[in-house]
Amino acid sequence: MLVRIDQDKCCGAGSCVLAAPDVFDQRDEDGIVVLLDARPPAELHQAVQDAAAVCPAAAITLEQV
Amino acid sequence: MTAVREVAVVGAGAAGLHAAEALRRAGYDGRLTLIGAEDELPYDRPPLSKQLLDGQWQPGQLTLRTPEALAELRLDLRLGAAAERLDRATRTVHLADGGRVRCEAVVLATGVRPRRLPGAETPLPGAHVLRTLADALALRAELRPGVRLLVVGGGLLGAEAAATAVGLGAEVTWLVSAAPLAAVLGADTAALLTGLHRDHGVRIRRGAAAAVVERGGRAVGVRLADGSELAADAVLTAIGSRPATEWLAGSGVPLEADGGVACDAHCAAGPGVWAAGDAAAWPDPRTGRRRRLEQRTNATEQALCAARNLLAGPDGARQVYDPVPYLWSDQYGLRVQAFGSPGGADRFEVVDGSLAEHRFAAACVREGRVTGAVGIAAARALRALRARVAAHDPWPPADRPQPAAALS
């Protein structure tokens, strides 16, 4: 799995960090998403899919590789 | 899983799109019709008063999903086709273009329409509202340096439009009937932002707008309740909105006094009828009272909940919708973020940073419970407070040393 984020679209809700804290973080100054792990291990895939699904700004896209 | 084979989602904004997507992701394989009144593919509205209005973004950047991603959803996409009527007996949605969509289950996600002032209830050059892409482009075309823009309404939309317009060189007057932003963000944060508006040259006027004044076929200002007039080259009315649910009149779908779809705790409004987004009024588990949330994150989260419950079937385990509301606003290069309901708090306690440095996170407390959190440039501290909002924690927190009791 390859995770991509779009920082221009991110609205800073932090939903992704709540869903998958090992993969996503937020910049403190504006809450914009920071990608910690673009190729997360298999045990985190479900959490990452949840994060992409709940992202209100559709700023997370996943690619199967 | 239930054996529903025909689902119609009415409304192709964020809530409608997310509902459709959630149904497919959960394995729903039947017919899925997505109905939208506007011609555009599903797009995001928050940037309309921000990046789109100030010209940083072009319309294509608002699109929520690429055509390829939409194709994967195998939608029967009906755009530019407003829903006109729901016939529950025959389970049919009638469209303005003459189309008819049969469905066993329907998700109502038609959102809201802006309220307008008398004098501008029908389209009038120079009189603007801000809800759709077309609205935003029309307003953007007016925003030249030196143009006098009158913004009516002291909420977030008016604040963002005023900030964007003044950044483009417009002379902005902001007409408000009460302390701007206080109801939504709380008095302290509102005062900070109102000060920023003044520093940037926005003139803030207290008064009640009565009507848009028209001369020569164009809006030339606003008449106030006291009879005086404020002149302007363009007027933006941002005084709230009303659920776009007139089309449900007579359908048997229960509506609230304000037009919101009256749902139960599971976002259902009768057998086979579900609602999500700005128009959905559901009983907030914290208060038991029905409310609507006109917030972008709510559109997504409520759509996911409605879709999940739709597929669970009548005997399945349905999820109670219990969100932690989130909103954000960009003004003058600062991003304000808030969870819960910061307005209406009786206590405001900064836990990190300070308002003076424009970097803070604060708990908003009502009757000894954390009911909201608000902050600027302190996302981590704010996220920590989110958990307290979600749990409705007592404040001061029990896990923190209590100060000695005050004498007064």
Which one-letter DSSP state was computed for residue B385? H
β-strand B148-152 against B234-237: which pairing, if any?
parallel
- Is A44 near chain B, with CB under 8 Å? no
* Segment among A53-62, B25-34, B77-86, B278-287 with least mean pLDDT: A53-62
- Is B144 near chain A, with CB under 8 Å? no
Shortest Cα distance, chain B CAs vs residue A57, angstroms: 8
| Strand ranges inside B300-401, DSSP E | 326-331, 334-340, 347-354, 359-366, 369-376
Q: Residue B102 CB: number of other CB atoms within 10 A?
A: 13
C-alpha angle B7/B302/A43, rounded to 5°?
95
Residues A18-37 pLDDT 10s: 999 999 999 998 999 999 99
Closest to B290 (Cα-Cα) out of B304, B310, B305, B269: B269
Q: Please check the confidence at residue B407 and state whether its pLDDT lies above 70.
A: no
What's the pLDDT score for residue B2?
A: 52
Find which of B17, B18, B48 to mutate to test the A interface (most A CBs within 10 Å of its CB): B18
The verdict on a CB contact (< 8 Å) between B328 and A26 is no
Q: Which of B296, B328, B378 sits opposite A28 (nearest CB)?
A: B378
Using CB atoms and an 8 Å cut-off, which of residues 366-395 of chain B contact chain A? 377-380, 382-383, 386
Q: How far is B8 from A62, CA to CA, in rounded Å?
A: 27
Q: Residue B274 CB: number of other CB atoms within 10 A?
A: 27
Average pLDDT value over all residues in chain B: 95
Taking contacts as CB-CB distances below 8 angstroms, the residues of chain B near A9 are 44
What's the pLDDT score for residue B77?
A: 97
Secondary structure (DSSP) of B206-250: E--EEEEEEETTEEEEEEETTS-EEE-SEEEE-S-EEES-GGGTT
**Predicted-complex ipTM score:** 0.89
Burial level of B361, CB count in 10 A (0-12/13-18/19+)?
buried
Which one-letter DSSP state was computed for residue B381? H
- Is A63 near chain B, with CB under 8 Å? no
What's the pLDDT score for residue B263?
A: 98
- Is A16 near chain B, with CB under 8 Å? no
What's the pLDDT score for residue B313?
A: 82
Q: Residue B186 is encoded by which pair of tokens?
A: 């709380």
β-strand B105-108 against B273-275: which pairing, if any?
parallel
Contacts of B355 (CB under 8 A, 6+ apart): B188, B189, B192
- Chains A and B: how many Cβ contacts under 8 Å? 62
Mean per-residue pLDDT for A51-56?
87
Closest to B189 (Cα-Cα) out of B384, B355, B363, B359: B355
Q: Please check the confidence at residue B405 and state whether its pLDDT lies above 70.
A: no
Find which of B160, B328, B329, B376 to mutate to test the A interface (most A CBs within 10 Å of its CB): B328
The verdict on a CB contact (< 8 Å) between B379 and A9 is no
Count CA atoms closer than 13 A to B77's CA, side-chain side: 17
Q: Predicted confidence band at A56 (pLDDT cuts at 50, 70, 90)?
A: confident
Let me know: does B286 contact B392? Beta carbons within 8 Å.
yes
Mean per-residue pLDDT for B155-162?
98
Q: How far is B78 from B11, CA to CA, in rounded Å?
A: 10
Find which of B297, B301, B374 to mutate to test the A interface (most A CBs within 10 Å of its CB): B297
Taking contacts as CB-CB distances below 8 angstroms, the residues of chain B near A29 are 335, 359, 377, 379
| Phi and psi based region of residue B241 (left: phi greater than 0; alpha: psi -120 to 50; beta: remaining) | beta
Element at B310 (helix H, strand E): helix B296-312
| Phi and psi based region of residue B67 (left: phi greater than 0; alpha: psi -120 to 50; beta: remaining) | alpha
Q: Please check the confidence at residue B161 and state whether its pLDDT lies above 70.
A: yes
What's the pLDDT score for residue B267?
A: 98
Q: Residue B204 is encoded by which pair of tokens?
A: 């803030």
What's the pLDDT score for residue B400?
A: 62
Give the phi and the psi of residue B184 in degrees, each rounded to 5.
-95, -35
Residues B254-311 pLDDT 10s: 999 999 999 999 999 999 999 999 999 999 998 899 999 999 999 999 999 999 999 9
Taking contacts as CB-CB distances below 8 angstroms, the residues of chain A near B304 are 53-54
Taking contacts as CB-CB distances below 8 angstroms, the residues of chain B near A28 are 377-380
* Segment among A21-30, A36-45, B77-86, B398-407 with least mean pLDDT: B398-407
Mean per-residue pLDDT for B132-146?
97
Q: Please check the confidence at residue B406 and state whether its pLDDT lies above 50.
A: no
Residues B7-28 pLDDT 10s: 999 999 999 999 999 999 999 9
Q: Which of A11, A28, A57 sits opposite B377 (nearest CB)?
A: A28
Q: Please check the confidence at residue B173 and state whether its pLDDT lies above 80.
A: yes
Residue A15 to residues A10, B184, B396, Cα–Cα distance (Å): 11, 21, 26
Shortest Cα distance, chain A CAs vs residue B376, angstroms: 7
Burial level of A46, CB count in 10 A (0-12/13-18/19+)?
exposed
Q: Predicted confidence band at B401 (pLDDT cuts at 50, 70, 90)?
A: low
Print the SS3 string covering chain A.
Answer: CEEEECCCCCCCCCHHHHHCCCCEEECCCCCCEEECCCCCCHHHHHHHHHHHHHCCCCCEEEECC
What's the pLDDT score for residue B246?
A: 97
Q: Predicted confidence band at B403 (pLDDT cuts at 50, 70, 90)?
A: low
What's the pLDDT score for residue B217?
A: 97
Q: Residue B324 CB: number of other CB atoms within 10 A?
A: 18
Which residue's structure tokens are 């009527």? B85
Closest to B109 (Cα-Cα) out of B325, B299, B304: B299
Q: Against a cut of 0.90, is the pTM above it?
A: yes
Shortest Cα distance, chain B CAs vs residue A33, angstroms: 10
Q: Which of B46, B304, B379 sits opposite A26 (nearest CB)?
A: B379
The verdict on a CB contact (< 8 Å) between A29 and B299 is no
* Segment among B125-139, B169-183, B343-357, B391-405 with least mean pLDDT: B391-405
CA R_g for chain A: 10
Q: Please check the confidence at residue B404 and state whether its pLDDT lies above 70.
A: no
Q: Please check the confidence at residue B183 and state whether its pLDDT lies above 60.
A: yes
